[in-house]
Copies of this chain bind each other. A is one copy, B any other.
Amino acid sequence: MRYLPKSESERREMLDVLGLDSIEDLFSHLPEETKLNRPLNIAPGKSEYEIVEYFRARGNENAMNYASFLGAGVYNHYRPVMVDTIVSRGEFLTSYTPYQAEISQGTLTTIFEFQTMMCQLTGMDVANASMYDGSSAVPEAAMMAVRVTGRNRVLVSRTVHPEYREVLRTYAQHQGMPVADFGYVDGTGAVDLADLEAQISAGDVAAVVIQTPNFFGMVEDVKTAADLAHKHGALLVVAFTEAVSLGLLAPPREADIVAGELQSFAISPSYGGPYAGIIATKEKYIRQLPGRIVGETKDTHGNRAFCLTLATREQHIRREKATSNICTNQALIALMATVFMSVYGKEGLRELAEQNLAKAHYLSEDMDLRFRGPFFNEFVIRTEPEALNAELLKHNIIGGLPLGRFYPELEGCMLVCATEMAKRAHLDQFKKCADAVGQPAMAAARNEGARA
C-alpha cells in the first residue's frame, strides 16, 4: 500500500526486535469478544486515477457551469490563485497546532497577522484565531457574554441567519441560557428596536445578537442597537456572514463582541464547509475569549517571536472550567483568509466591496424590493420563487433563496445576491426572467386571466 512506507523485510526486522512472529501478536491481548473477525465490508484499495475519476463523476452530478445568485451566508467570490499556492505548501498544510513555538514561527506569525487584520476590519481590540464557522461563533460569543455579565438570557434578532439561530439554540439548550428571538420592521427588514426594547426590559439579558448586513442583506444600525443593549446592561454581539462588506461598511465598533464567518475571503463554498469563524472583542474581555490566541514575545536571544498564549482559558488546562471545549479549529482556512486579505489589501478590499455594491444595486433596479433601506450585495424581492428559479435554470442560472422556508411570512419572497463574479449578461438575464415570472399577485392574476 503506497501510504505505508515499509517493505516486508523491514516489518520482519522490527518484529524480530520485538521478538514476535507476526503483527497480529500485538493484538492478541484484545479480549476475544471485542475483535472483528471478518474483513471490513469496504471495497479494495483504489488507484489515484480511479479516485480522481470517482470524485469527478460526483462533481459532475452537482451543478457545473451555472451562474448563481445564491448568497444567504455563502458567497461566490473569486479566489486568488495565491491562496491555494500558499496553503498547499506542506509546511503550512501538514503541520499541527503550533504548540512548539521554535519550529512553528511560520504558522504563529501568520496567525498574529490574521488577528491584527481581524481587529482592523472589525474595529475590535483583540480577535481569536478561528472558530469552526460563523454559526458556531455566534453561540460561543453569547456564552462569552454570559460569562462576562453574569446574566443568562440571550435575545437574537430574527434577521440573523436562521441556521445560526438554530445552532445558537442547540448550544444554549443545556447551559441555562434561554434564547428568544426579536422581530424586524416589516418595511425595512431591519431589527425592530421596539420589540428588542420590550424584551430586554424584562432583564437578565446577557447578550443581544444582531447581524449586519443582516440575512436580508440590509445594513443594520449597530450604534442604536448597542446603545439599547448597553442601557440595559447587556452586551451587543454583532454577527456577519459577508466579510467582504467590511471593506466598505463602517466597522461595528460599538459592539462588544463581533462574531463572523470568513467564507467570503477566498474560502470555496464547498457545499457548506470547511469555513472559518472568528470572534473579536474588546481588550477587557480577552480572558473570556474561546479558542486559540497568539501573542508576541521574545526568544532567549531577544528576537521577536510568537507563541500561543492565554492557554488558561482553554480546555487542555482548565478542563470543565474552560471557556469552551474547542480544540481543533480552522487554522488553514483562516490562513486562506489571511492570504486573501494580503492580496487585496486596503484598496482592493474596498474596490471589491464597491463592485459587489454596484452589481447588486444594478440587479435591484426595477425589481420589486420587499424591504426599503440600505443593502450591500443581497436583497429580497417579491416574486414567485419556484417559478423564477425554474425559469432561470433553463438559462443555466441558479436563482436566489426562496424565503418561505425560513420565514413563513415571506412566502413569495426571494433572497438574491450578486457579487463581483456576476456578469452583466447574467444580471440582465435574471431581470428578464424575473419580469417574465412576475410577483405572486401578478401571477395569480395571470392565472385568473388564463382561467377566465
A positions within 8 Å CB-CB of B? 47-49, 78, 80-81, 85, 88-89, 421
Contact = CB atoms under 8 A, between A and B. Distances in A.
A268 to B, nearest CB: 14
Nearest to A80: B48
A360 B49 CA distance: 19
Nearest to A52: B81
B78 A48 contact: yes
A88 B421 CA distance: 27
A93 to B, nearest CB: 10
A92 B262 CA distance: 32
Contacts of A47: 78
A89 B86 CA distance: 10
Contacts of A48: 78, 80-81
Contacts of A85: 88
A351 B257 CA distance: 60
Nearest to A51: B81
9 contacts: A47-B78, A48-B78, A48-B80, A48-B81, A49-B78, A49-B421, A85-B88, A88-B88, A89-B89
Nearest to A49: B78
A89 B48 CA distance: 21
A84 B48 CA distance: 14
Q: Which 8 A-B pairs have the closest CB atoms?
A: A49-B78, A48-B81, A48-B80, A88-B88, A48-B78, A89-B89, A49-B421, A85-B88
A92 to B, nearest CB: 12
A48 B89 CA distance: 21
A225 to B, nearest CB: 36
A75 to B, nearest CB: 15
Contacts of A80: 48
Nearest to A91: B89
Given A48-B81, A49-B78, A88-B88, 6 more contacts: A47-B78, A48-B78, A48-B80, A49-B421, A85-B88, A89-B89
A407 to B, nearest CB: 34
A112 B275 CA distance: 43
A208 to B, nearest CB: 39
A60 to B, nearest CB: 10
A89 B93 CA distance: 13
A324 B88 CA distance: 39
A78 B53 CA distance: 12
Contacts of A78: 47-49
Contacts of A421: 49
A407 B80 CA distance: 49
Nearest to A423: B53
A49 B47 CA distance: 33
A81 B81 CA distance: 18
A48 B80 CA distance: 7
A452 to B, nearest CB: 48
Contacts of A89: 89
A49 B49 CA distance: 29
Contacts of A88: 85, 88
Nearest to A84: B88
A48 B48 CA distance: 30
Nearest to A420: B49
A271 to B, nearest CB: 22
Contacts of A81: 48
A78 B48 CA distance: 9
A82 to B, nearest CB: 9
Nearest to A53: B423
A252 B109 CA distance: 55
Nearest to A89: B89
A388 B48 CA distance: 32
A389 B89 CA distance: 44
A48 B85 CA distance: 14
A421 B47 CA distance: 12
A89 B89 CA distance: 7
A48 B420 CA distance: 13
A80 B421 CA distance: 33
A336 to B, nearest CB: 16
